[in-house]
Structure 1
Amino acid sequence: MNAREAMVNASWFGTSDEQASRLLDAYRTEVLEEVVAWLVKKAREHRAKGPQYAKQADVIGKLASKVQRGAVRPDNLATLPPGEEPAPEDAPALAAEVVRLRADNAEWEAARDGYYASEQRLAREVERLRAELAARPTRAEAYRQVADELALMQSVEPDHRHAAGLYSAEQCARRMADAAEAGDGS
């Protein structure tokens, strides 16, 4: 027999106030256990829906915890204390606050969109610079081009003294190219 049935039976046969109070407490406990079980089930269902429902699942779980530990009682379900309740005359002020918050939100969204556009421009510029850098010759290739031009200049130089200097510079450029390829960089 559950608590409700025990209460109904007791009402037929007459019970003392103390026994009626115990029966009511048992019935209330049984109902709260059912509510907690239902809230826990709903929290699990929300969590299973995906990560976007995690916050709702957490709130439902907290509510279930509060009900289970007795934080939700008939004597604390009252509204705000007198003087703190929003009165009808507060409606215009609350509406003005809503308008202000919406304007702030629009301003923040515009700033966010501006930052997003700037981020996109910077990303495009970075990609352009990366492509330009990839198209440039490596250090070793640049040294080899200089060495080839020095070799070409030697072949057309009539003065042997200048040709010897060009030959020396060419050899130095080739050594630098080899070092750059080897990763030495010097």
Structure 2
Amino acid sequence: MTSRAAAWAAGTTLVLSAVTVMGGAPAGAMPAAVVRCDATGEVAYRPPVGPDEATVVATTTQRYETCTVTSDDSRVTKALDSSSDVPLVVSCTSLLGVREHQRLAVTWDTDETSFIDDAVITVTRQGPELLVVGAGKITDGPFAQLTYRNETTYDAADARIECLGPRGLSHLGPGRSLTTIA
């Protein structure tokens, strides 16, 4: 096993999870979602992620396909496609893990934006897939005080090969994405 493959394997054995529990539901039960949006997600890395740690900008994009909003007190009917830039210090082995204190946002068809301050982004490898989860409490805008959770699943095998290759990992996706607010 090459040192790059060994480094990737060591990094991929790390399995982390982020769980946010909010009041209002019986113990052990998840509250009913007031928003559920299906989307495709992509991430572009500039410069590409490689075996050595470096500062990169990760541009994440969500293309929302369908949204269901069950809240009677909201004029929101769907989320708008979004893109954001996140600076990271990362390598192939540190791509997995937890990034705390992130600021996320969702813009709605009402031209209002829900802000998720102090969000946690967790990247894990689960079998042949890479799972990226962003979670936190909405602090401002529609659905304030509710819990935001976005899960996007990518093909990890391609990411591993690209990351350890001579050109590095420049792109993840498209992946399947689910956003819920409860």
TM-score by length of 1: 0.14
Q: Which has the higher helix share?
A: 1
TM-score with structure 2 setting the length: 0.14
* Greater C-alpha Rg: 1
